[in-house]
Amino acid sequence: MPNIDPFEKFSDRYDKWFKRNLNLYQDELEAIRQAIPCSKAKGLEIGVGTGKFAQPLGIKVGVEPSRKMAEKAEQLGIKVYPNPAENLPFSDGEFDYALMVTTICFVDDIIKSFSEAYRVLKSGGYLIIGFVDRESELGKRYFEKRNSNEFYKDATFYSSEEVLDLLKRVGFQITMIKQTLIPDTPSGTILDGFGKGAFIVIQSKKVI
pLDDT band, residue 16 (cuts 50/70/90): confident
Domain boundaries along the sequence of the chain: 5-206
Burial (CB < 10 A; 0-12, 13-18, 19+), residue 54, is: buried
pTM over 0.85: yes
Q: Residue 125, CB half-sphere, CA atoms under 13 Å: how many?
A: 21
Under 8 Å between Cβ of 137 and 183: yes
Q: What class does CATH assign to 5-206?
A: alpha beta
Residue pLDDT, tens place only, 32-43: 999 999 878 999
Q: What amino acid occupies position 180?
A: T
> In this predicted model, what pLDDT tens digit does every residue of 148-196 receive, in sequence order?
666 666 788 899 999 999 999 999 999 999 999 999 999 999 999 999 9
